[in-house]
Amino acid sequence: MKHAQVLIIGGGTAGITVAAQLKQKDKNLQIAILEPSSKHYYQPAWTLVGAGAFDFKATERETAAYIPKGVTWIQDKATTIHPEKNTVVTDASGDLTYDYLVVAPGLVMAPELLPGLTEALGKDVVCSNYTDPEHSWEVIRKFKGGNAVFTQPTTPIKCGGAPQKIMYLAEEHFRKAGIRNKTNVVFATPGSVIFGVKDFARTLNKIILERDIILKTFYAPTKIDGPNREIYFRYAQPGDNNCVLTEDNRIGENIIGDSEIKLSFDMLHLAPPQQAPEFVRKSQVSAQDGPSKGWIDVNINTLQHARFANIFSLGDVAALPTAKTGAAIRKQAPVVVENLLQLIKTEKMGTASYEGYSSCPLVTGYSKMVLAEFKYDNVRDSDPLISKFVDTTKEQYSMWLLKKYGLPFMYWNMMLRGKA
């Protein structure tokens, strides 16, 4: 196939969900998905894999089983987008042309943006659920005490709550293993708070105090020395870049200059820096400057491209001021589908609007979870049905069951089938 009425770049959560919903609304649409990977992963469960509470193999399925019936799968990758020519250049299939384009390739890990990380990641005691959750569990299981450091980069990342979820699970594991009294659990974040939505931050701050977790805000990681097990941070508080150590320096921090901090670790879990794929960053479809530079330039409500009317984008690669999660995609997909169908049928945009909904299932232990739901501007936005029965700002066993069993079932059987 060299031309598609609707070409979708990306066969992950966003691409397959949009394709399935489009086909359900109009079975005559001629749709193609451009996706190189033969495997599809349910990545939200990787937090549980990293804590030994979920089988990694159960997160992996064949992509072919989820391409909607009647949709053409082009197993190849995009290398360039020429929006002015309605053309996508591929690695092996030549040029593809389209009437309408949906760009949803997700983001990519960019460990090279943090010096020393490429060499250290996945080796020894440096681990990440984002790249190899089975190694994370191995590191946590073998940990014998010392500084257990959990951190995240200054770039946007998938599921902003994930770096702290594994920390709560690891902390509980250390208690069960009888080594908590010789362990410092440290969460170092470039942000100013543990979580951006106050109702949920209140609960998380209480957990941090009760479990004696050392919270370091304004800590932006700058360098990792894997062989010497050291991580460096820049103290990044706006307007005050002189860092001061408290008298209780039990984790053994060292100040270098005015604003650099060196910390030794006995295990390190981190989210690698992340960015849009290179073909997006180098194309005119990305924002060319400003805070969203390199991410796809869309209207944050309609999800239509700001400059090319026949292009839409959703998911992790879209420049949207909300968390990059599967739950966000679940609310974005119907908006893209409705507005795109209206554009195809009437040459006028539909009126569907995305208000920024996202959700972060914050696992806080092996049987507890806080379901953080919010929309643009960090406004709480709870599901009306769930919130009728459960206070989602508190740790709940029912929400743990939702995370471990309910959400994976809904993902594979409903969302990817265009039914949720």
Catalytic residues: 159, 360
Bridge pairing between strands 39-41 and 358-365 = unpaired
Other CB atoms within a 10 A radius of the CB of residue 39 amount to: 10
CB atoms within 10 A of CB 209: 10
Tell me how crowded residue 405 is: count the other CB atoms within 10 A of its CB. 10
Looking at the chain, the number of H-run helices and the number of E-run strands are 11, 23
Please provide the distance, in angstroms rounded to a whole number, between the alpha carbons at the two ends of the chain.
29
Q: Which of 108, 157, 150 is nearest to 127 (CA)?
A: 150
- Which residue intervals of 325-383 are DSSP H helices? 326-346
Q: Encoding tokens for residue 415? A: 């969302």
Extract the tokens encoding 89: 């250049």
Q: How many CB atoms lie within 10 A of CB 258?
A: 9
- Quick one: which H or E segment has residue 408? helix 407-413
User: Torsion over CA of 336, 338, 45 and 114, rounded to 10 degrees?
Assistant: 10
Which sign does the torsion angle of CA 233, 268, 158, 199 carry? negative
Rounded CA separation 187/219 (Å):
9
Q: Is 107 helix (H, G, I), strand (E, B) or coil?
A: coil
What are the tokens at 258?
Answer: 């005015």
Report the interhelical angle of 13-25 vs 326-346 (nearest 10°).
40
Q: Is 19 helix (H, G, I), strand (E, B) or coil?
A: helix
Q: What's the DSSP call for residue 31?
A: E
Count of C-beta atoms within a 10 Å radius of residue 242: 10
The residue type found at 413 is N
